[in-house]
């Protein structure tokens, strides 16, 4: 228990980092909902979706980096966990293209 001055300082710093991350995530969530409700119709759905994806990515980075503490782990460990996730990007793109193709086939065959 008898933590030295240095330990205590590190603890206070970590505590602060977590509350800052919380505040940022809260603000991002409120911004997401506010944007979803007030987006003018003429501004295009694509830009809006891109914004949502970027804002969600910010939240994901804070959860994995700060809450799950991955930012402070060894580089090799970070890579071993994050690199396999790169496969998911192609997984997503491939299946969205597949979905579009299903839509075209359905349109073509009138089903």
Partner 1 sequence: MAADTQFEKETEQVQDNWSGGNEPMKASYGKLMMWYFILSDAFTFAAFLITYAALRMSSEIWPDPNAVFNSMPFTHARLPLGFVTVMTFILILSSVFVVRAVQEGHRFNQKGVLLWMFLGIVGGLGFLGCQAWEWNHLIHQGLTLQSNPFGYYTTNEVVEGQTVDVFKGYVNLAVDEETHALVLGEDAVSTKGEAVPAEAKWHQGNWLFGCLFFFITGFHGFHVTTGVLLNCMIWIQSARGVYQRKRNYEMVEKVGLYWHFVDLVWVFVFLAFYLL
Interface mask (CB under 8 A) for partner 1, residues 59-88, using x and -? xx--xx-xxx----xx-xx--xx--xx--x
CA-CA distance, 83 to 68, in Å (whole number)? 17
Query: Crossing angle of helices 5-38/45-62, nearest 10°?
Result: 160
Compare residues 5 and 107 and give the one whose CB is closer to partner 1: 107
Asked if 56 is part of the footprint of partner 1 (rule: CB under 8 A), the reply reads yes
Residue holding tokens 């994901």?
A: 60
Q: Copy the structure tokens of residue 25.
A: 């995530």
Q: φ, ψ for residue 7 (rounded to 5)?
A: -55, -45
Strand ranges (E), the chain: none
Q: By the criterion CB under 8 A, which residues form the site for partner 1? A: 1, 3, 7, 11, 14-15, 18-19, 22, 25-26, 29-30, 32-33, 36-37, 49, 52-53, 56, 59-60, 63-64, 66-68, 73-74, 76-77, 80-81, 84-85, 88, 91-92, 95-96, 98-100, 102-103, 106-107
């Amino acid at each position: 228990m008898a933590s030295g001055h240095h330990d205590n300082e590190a603890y206070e710093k970590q505590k602060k980092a977590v509350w800052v991350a919380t505040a940022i995530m809260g603000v991002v969530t409120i911004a997401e909902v506010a944007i979803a409700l007030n987006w003018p119709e003429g501004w295009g759905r694509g830009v809006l979706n891109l914004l949502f994806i970027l804002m969600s990515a910010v939240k994901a980075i804070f959860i994995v980096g700060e809450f799950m503490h991955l930012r402070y782990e060894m580089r090799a460990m970070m890579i071993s966990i994050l690199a396999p996730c790169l496969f998911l990007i192609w997984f997503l793109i491939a299946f969205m293209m597949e979905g579009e193709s299903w839509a075209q086939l359905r349109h073509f065959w009138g089903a």
